[in-house]
Structure 1
């Protein structure tokens, strides 16, 4: 008999304050006794127990997933984010920002050659995100009133399973517990400091507002996920596909990203390593997020995000 597939979630029962970790098998949820990071940390002993538990599930076991509130499936201490990690995305950006008189085909060819060289000889570009920006896969996204330039970036995220410090690319995937989906929301006008151009990018202001990391709904153990370089990342805005790309287009694959991230800091169980955004962000389309927009995000095997956008409401004093 084939091994049953299951995912992990974090949830609350309707009307209850307690947050629980759950085993999701089909449409049934079984509450587990451990918090998510403890479960990940002790996977060597809990895996077999959950395999057996999943095999025993029937249509009457536990709770119906429709009867619980599904939360973000992870509680990371550290969030590592990779930038400019999809070949087509970087080429599109270079073409969109080419200088006056520059030929688009030449810019694309030159950038493609640069990305190929970077893949062979370079290292990933990382920055740090804040766990306080994490939201669930169905929470409304409140668009801060200080800007009209909020953008989407649906990404595959690796969840660390055991501490990784200065591991090689060959060892790296042994330290990955599983995978989840994250939409890395970005305020475009805040990415570069206009008042201090020499300081470069300001990821703190651009990416860490409340709810700017919609995450989940599922945490899928790596053994059920298959090859992380062969899944499809798709984001639809109001029903229209904006991002639709295979992770095969990554410049640096998951193993390389985890390895390189671990060269500087120890990665701990439950930490997130975001792998970068495929082509098709709002900046590419000339269409950024606005009140009433609905984002539907899917990555093969990781469920569906459904995020409704709404403008921030004015305060009582009338100040935004």
Structure 2
């Protein structure tokens, strides 16, 4: 018998008082014991059991996926975010922020050469996010009233499966449990501190408002996901594709990111390592998020996010 692919979710049924963890096979959800982090941490002993459950599932097993509320699939203790990790994205940003009088093509060529050098000799750029910003793949996104510069950044995220500390790039993917999708919302005007320019970026204010990290809907185990460097990242705004890029455009791949992140701090089961966002965010288009906007995000194999935006009342 061929082993069916499956994914994991966190969900609630009507009347539930607390979230459940579920195994998604086709259009059915099979409830599981324990929370998602416990399942990830004990994967070595639960994997075969879940494989067997998926193999024996039928159209009558569990509950209908359409009949439950799907929550964010992870509850990380730590969220590591990666900046400037798509070659085309970085080049576009450099052109957009060039000094007055600078030639656009000259900046593009110079930045491309810098990115090629960085890929071979440099290291990723990380910063820390807060788990409290996580929301589900269908929660409304409230746009805080303190700014009109909120932007989208759809990303692939690796979910750590076992403690990783100072692991090599060659072994790093062995520490990845699976993958999920995030939209790393950013308030552009808050990224840089104008009152203290020497300090530089202020990622706390720019990225950690409630709901600024829509996550999921699915957590797909690595064995079913395939090559993380060959999936398509697509975000549509009100039906129009704004981001549509392969993860092949990453400057540093998932293995390098996990390895480098683990050099400073131990990564724990359930932690998220975001991998950066491709070209095509709102800043690039000169069109930032507004009341009534609908973002539809897809990454190959990870389901669909559908986020409705509304102004803060």
Secondary structure at 1:171 match in 2:
helix
Aligned to 2:194: 194
Question: Could you tell me how far 1:15 is from its partner in structure 2?
Answer: 2.4
Aligned mates of 1:31, 1:100 — CA distance in 2: 58
Aligned mates of 1:100, 1:74 — CA distance in 2: 44
Aligned mates of 2:279, 2:36 — CA distance in 1: 32
- The runs of at least 4 consecutive aligned structure 1 residues that moved more than 4 Å come to none
Render the CA deviation track for 1:1-42: whole Å, top value 9, x for unaligned. 322000000000012222100000000001000100000000
Aligned to 1:34: 34
Aligned to 1:62: 62
Secondary structure at 2:137 match in 1:
coil
Stretch deviating more after TM superposition (10-19 or 65-74): 10-19
Aligned mates of 1:83, 1:3 — CA distance in 2: 37
Question: Could you tell me how far 1:103 is from its partner in structure 2?
Answer: 1.4
Aligned mates of 1:145, 1:18 — CA distance in 2: 31
Aligned to 1:130: 130
Aligned to 1:216: 216
Length-normalised TM-score, structure 1 = 0.97
Aligned mates of 2:9, 2:138 — CA distance in 1: 13
Aligned to 2:164: 164
Render the CA deviation track for 1:29-62: whole Å, top value 9, x for unaligned. 0100010000000001100000000011111111
Aligned to 1:316: none
Aligned to 2:302: 302
- State the Cα RMSD in Å: 0.5
Aligned mates of 2:247, 2:79 — CA distance in 1: 20
Aligned to 2:269: 269
Render the CA deviation track for 1:82-107: whole Å, top value 9, x for unaligned. 00000000000111111122111111
Query: Is structure 2 residue 111 aligned with structure 1 residue 111?
Result: yes
Aligned mates of 1:5, 1:262 — CA distance in 2: 29
Aligned to 1:247: 247
Secondary structure at 2:8 match in 1:
strand
Q: Which segments of 5 or more consecutive residues in structure 2 lack a partner in the other structure?
A: none
Query: Is structure 2 residue 223 aligned with structure 1 residue 235?
Result: no
Secondary structure at 1:157 match in 2:
strand
Aligned mates of 1:68, 1:78 — CA distance in 2: 27
Aligned mates of 2:18, 2:66 — CA distance in 1: 17
Secondary structure at 1:10 match in 2:
strand
Secondary structure at 2:257 match in 1:
helix
Aligned to 2:226: 226
Secondary structure at 2:198 match in 1:
helix
Query: Is structure 2 residue 14 aligned with structure 1 residue 14?
Result: yes
Aligned to 1:155: 155
Q: Which segments of 5 or more consecutive residues in structure 1 lack a partner in the other structure?
A: 314-320
Secondary structure at 1:276 match in 2:
coil
Stretch deviating more after TM superposition (201-210 or 7-16): 7-16
Render the CA deviation track for 1:153-177: whole Å, top value 9, x for unaligned. 0000000000000000001000000
Aligned residues: 313
Aligned mates of 1:15, 1:38 — CA distance in 2: 24
Secondary structure at 1:236 match in 2:
strand
Aligned to 1:318: none
Stretch deviating more after TM superposition (226-235 or 96-105): 96-105
Secondary structure at 2:37 match in 1:
helix
Aligned mates of 1:2, 1:78 — CA distance in 2: 36
Query: Is structure 2 residue 32 aligned with structure 1 residue 5?
Result: no
